[in-house]
Structure 1
Amino acid sequence: MHKRQALTGFFAAAALVAGVAVSATGGGGGAPDEPSPQTVAANAVDESKWPSPTPERGLTKGLSLPVEKYLVGYTDVVQWQRAQRDLWVSCMARFGFEKFNPPIPGINPPAEFNDANMSRRYGASDATQAAEYGYHLPPEHMDEPPTWEPAAGPEDAVFLGDGPELSGGTYKGVTVPEGGCRGEAERQLGHLAQGENASKANASSMTESLQRPAVQNVFARWAACMKTKGYTFDDPYKPAGSFNLSAPMASTEEIEVATADVACKGETGLISAWYAEETAIQKQQIAAKKTSLDAELAERNTVKAAAQRVISEGSDK
């Protein structure tokens, strides 16, 4: 993979898990009297539009699992990305790229951002969405995030620390950091990573919950409810799997099944029962791995603190 392709992946991918889209504002250019990229970033983001950490509608409204304390949130991601952007901009300015202007993190937030995928963790859970989209994701979840990369030539070379424009590791007589300005920022900030133990707990609690008698019993009640509506499924993950979700739109049949699915979940209390069992499992897992989980959290908090310092120092300039 080319270094520039790896860079676009940083912005285009879901930062760590669920998607963080950023606006592609381009690199460089602009009139001399324009505000600095740091000032623009500090004032351009409307945090009131950021996704809630818990679902705000449907049968999972307000639900949060214990392990989410150890998972990465949208605010964490945007703060880290903003600090990284500030470091990039400051470093590039040292080499004369005063208008180096990567996309502003958090300016185009996703509709949802939740590492536990609570809104769909237990299958379709929102009657309104089911009636309109079936098992398909709403359109705002389907758009490919915009991508960005530095301008080809000297800007790219200094940013990545590699290119014919550099001579002996220098640009116009100034030494370029190893890995360019991107590498320098990585060393200063560290990586905002999901902890291995947290990720395992997030996944294994779901697997274990499927074997719990209380969950099996509520599945049976849900299946009986679905049968009264003319559908034969033995678990709530199967209906979505019976349709082509890569199709542009949900079929009438898909919408009808999804609507019945969510209605039966409400009638049988499937999600509340399943959530209760998984919550109990996670509490046990967290108690057993608390030392490791707390260490992962402390490591992430160190990275967050570094990001906060960078942002604070930038706002004081």
Structure 2
Amino acid sequence: MKSFSYMRARDVTEATRAAQRPGSKVIAGGTNLLDLAKLSIERPSALIDVNRIPGLKEIRRLPDGGVRIGALVTNADLAAHPLIREHYPLLSRAILAGASGQIRNMATTGGNLLQRTRCVQFYDTSDRCNKRAPGSGCGALDGANRMNAIVGGSASCIAVHPSDMAVAMRILDAVVETTDAHGAHRRIPIDDFYVLPDAAPQHETVLTPGEMITGVSLPAPPQGMQSYRKVRDRASYAFALVSVGAIAAVEEGHFTRVRFAFGGIAPKPWRIEAAEAALRGKPRNAQAISTACDIALAGAAGHGDNDFKIALAHRTLIAVLGA
């Protein structure tokens, strides 16, 4: 593990200015960064600890009926908060489906959104990975790819984003709030926050050097039943093969409002609004849901070990939205 310097930032300005220096990394819970540093996948020259910055651990109701979540709110506190459990149970369930209780006690909202992929080749420094070493190739395309993407990937990378929380955030139309080293603030819709791999898979978000997540805001919760289902190899502490989050309202056996997104199948939470629109007014049955899934997965292709994900995504969506 490479030696590094350490500083404890007193405020966002100090943190972002320090973080813009080459080789510097912001650390909060450290549940992903420290693992990567131990494997020499991340080799930071400096760590900027943001845990003591005031105002980033609050969850508060907004005047429009929404909620603002500070970047340093832990996953455990967020999942258990009364506002989230009552109005955004989808988010609470998605968080509780991820990691272990010990990790949720440390992992933060901002860090969860920024966690790196769990692709086998990304973690194996002896294999090819354009995300870890740009230009080296993608070993997953013709190697072990059971966990990898069936949509949204490219010839450069088929890694998936591992966050359960981000899937729920996407369905809820979350907005990521950031501050950069010059004091400029941005509000970025979560779908615009993540970028697909294309020719530069080492870039996963639109954050600029030194720019830091300070919070996430959620609009007032939409009407409908909220649910989250995660299919994985074991019942706990495993990443999704396929996950589905959904909010659906049904009247007289027909869908009136539907939102759904997949996890475990793409480089970012996968929500296609055209697929949701295809369900509105349709009967709540497997045929209608499968047709909507076809739209959401248009162009989907397996790469050998992960071919099963296409059928599994259909079955999981039917299980979540069906009667």
TM-score scaled by length of structure 2: 0.21
Q: Which has the larger radius of gyration?
A: 1
Whichever structure has more helix as a proportion of its residues is 1
Of the two structures, which has the highest relative contact order with CA contacts closer than 8 Å and spacing of 6 or more?
1
Whichever structure has more strand as a proportion of its residues is 2
